[in-house]
Amino acid sequence: MTILVTGCAGFIGSNFVRACKTHLKGVSIVGIDDFSTGRRSAVDPSITFYEGSVTDAALLERIFKKHKPAYVFHFAAVPRVSYSVEHPRETTEANIVGIVALLDAAARHKVKRFIYSSSSSIYGGAKKLPTKESENMPDPKSPYAAQKYAGEVFCTIFSELYGLDTVSLRYFNVFGPGQYGDSPYSTVISAWLEALYSRGTKSFLEGDGLQSRDFCYVDNVVEANLAAMRARRACKGAAVNIAHGERTTLREVKRLIEKESGKTIALERRAPRRGDVRHTHADIAAARRLLGYRPKVSFKEGLARTVAWYKKRA
């Protein structure tokens, strides 16, 4: 069996490829990345790799025709809310045209299931916590969030019109080894650790630090994607939350990092970020029912592993 992994040089994609080599023995992995945000050093040399964009229909046709992937894992995107605000056309081409091109190729080449990396940003600030998919309708507040939501809509359309089974995974605040502090997807965790273990960068805190996030360790996201591939029931375009199901304040994050690192984080205090969501907290019951998803790594254990990775790099 062959699988296609888009964005294989990125943070989540490279972690996923690494896990596949352990958990999917005998599976051939084909990767594609244009290095717009990914790192060349993150590409596993053992996979079949294509440098290029998912918007390149001719390239996609060659890949699908030659390798005939049974499953597609779509991690590739031009990320970051602020960048999408500044570059709405460019990010729309990459994030919407790209997924439609992939879905089209996947449907024509009879892929078994298309697994899409979506984002909790599509909620635009959930009305109820913990956030249930059925109680919080998408309300995107940025081009990036709108693009991610459009991807979900196209996944559902391709399931209904073309018989391509799809599932959209709405990630909450993913962190872990391989996430650099200067990454477009960086969380406050990686930003603070980057400043703690490198020179020339400063740590800052926007607001009072009592805002909280449902941080999701990257191994749990990887597990969600594997569970989505293995799910016996047809997903039919469903969209589900992928998170830990708990929330942690930024003050507590600071305390735990200092405990694990033995270092003190000197924070520059800044005004609250405009439009920032105060709290995120996902209800993951739907992912548990549909996919059998259960986060295996706790937040504290994931944080300890992340601190250890930064120590090793220092």
State the pLDDT at residue 235. Answer: 98
Residue 117, SS3 per DSSP: strand
| Residue 199, pLDDT score | 66
Neighbours of 135 (CB within 10 A): 12
pLDDT per residue over 102-130, tens digit each? 999 999 999 999 999 999 999 998 889 99
Give the other-Cβ count within 10 Å of 74's Cβ. 26
Burial class (CB in 10 A: 0-12, 13-18, 19+), 161: exposed
Write out pLDDT tens, residues 154-200: 999 999 999 999 999 999 999 999 999 877 668 899 999 999 998 66
pLDDT tens, residue by residue, 37-96: 999 999 999 999 999 999 999 999 999 999 999 999 999 999 888 888 899 999 999 999
Q: Is 247 helix (H, G, I), strand (E, B) or coil?
A: coil
Does pLDDT of 269 surpass 70? yes
Quick: pLDDT tens for 37-47: 999 999 999 99
Closest CA to 129 of 243, 299, 251, 252: 243
Please give the pLDDT value at position 288.
98
pLDDT band at 275, cuts 50/70/90?
Answer: low
pTM exceeds 0.85 for this model: yes
